[in-house]
Structure 1
């Protein structure tokens, strides 16, 4: 499930969304291995990077569980002898001179600790102080190591070491110092049953451990924004999509954003102005499309996507696109590509003028935008109809290969 989530998020960008199995992917890329096109190179790089990261994530989680369950292996034994040295995996600090892999394993502990529980049998292999075997555990969060030692216990004590004849062996004074301990009922140990580790999900229900359940438990979950399909779709140009994502989140480093960081310096920054039109501070709303320069560029290209009736307000342009954010109709695909291309080129031109002292006239930018969108359209396939043919002719995109999958 984890690998599927990762792969589904990137295969569209690799242009191999039609391949579902590993054999299909390998055979598909092998058939184009001799090609040096950008799309072919990106597909191979994304496949290599995704398989590496999925394997690395799997190993990190697998190794943590191997250490906690004391799996019989040379690697686990070596880490217990040379890394832990009698200490609990949960308590050992991150050394300054440890290997990168060991540091990453230790840094994963805060993310997984609340999900790994010990199911007590005979209590021999469950740490009394550091493992999670009751709701208020680990007890080391309540009782300090100093108090534990002063009571005569070892920090390596197991559950079996602190229970005798059905009662806890810790001092009665602890109930006054740590009243929450009264909520822990004495466990009934089963001499013939081994302790086991279990994984509990976000709902605190026990479930079978796997990389997919672990990923679903610890990953960050947010509400889907209404515009995500507008940005991330099978037809998007990755660099344009990333720029659009920044715009939708108001994260471009425009001058108004920079001024908000250092308001006391506003008086010394009064000379700042839009590098495109020199009329005002540049901002998201100004660049798209209150700026006279960006307006000129927009007027040159908008008719090709039938957007001439949309007001020159960025939010209203987005609102029009959102109405058909999931549509695969050619006109809606072209609209998404065109708006993203215009936004990307305008931001690029703004930076070139501000930091590189290079400028291009609107007609040159218009040609670049149209060439980018046209090149993308040549790599897509459409259902052959008179309406689609007419639309592609308007963009000067020709060729029967555009329709071969649907004829």
Structure 2
């Protein structure tokens, strides 16, 4: 055959390609290569190797402070400061550990986006096998490189958001597609299975043809949660006396009808009422998640107090230039006189 037969290990980008974990000895040649580059540092083309970051950065620090990578001197500035951009007070030197994390992130992004490459196809076929990258257990026998990618998930995951599109390619539980993060952080596999779903369920499977959520009503029902359930109704009844909505019951449609009718009015009474509705919605949703996922319970009185405290702190930052139609609201919210810039007459 017209080709030369070779044998492992071969080198790629200066690093031996072997099936086992790279040892220090395997990468020693890169350290030596770095030393030669430092000897002729005017070339400005240093080669970095992420697997031996500690040794390389030590030589870089020694060279920076002494002009000789063989000589160790006490650094005058912390290395993390040196690696800051110049406009932030650093020298703009790349942190090799940060570069290594960036490269790992790039590999993870390729996997998640299913980039058209032989390596990505191999990962999906032999490693993921239809499962989410975020759900693969990091245990048992696996290659060193694959273990490093899995170990990077806790660092990368908060920064990775999934574009929903039609929802067919978005994992309902593992992908981050909403503000509260991946739902698997709160909903256990048992709850998912009991609801008739699997860990591989797409977001599209959770939405019906008429746009309603398919998951159990106990998980989420807008009208039930705001504010028809007994707990939410208790909270609403406690806070609505601090608004201009005392004749509005706890029905979501009634509250939204009032909001739509008064949304463009800048009357102080209406501003306060809209703030209370927004805060009540947020804290009841927060309490619902806390009870469902961490089993922490607060009373309606405690949640109501938090709503009122939050709204009052917001009111203290406002200046009201129009009169309150309901004068009792000024007293109820204890709004200081210096927040009332009322025009005479």
Same fold (TM over 0.5): no
TM-score when normalising by structure 2? 0.38
TM-score when normalising by structure 1? 0.32
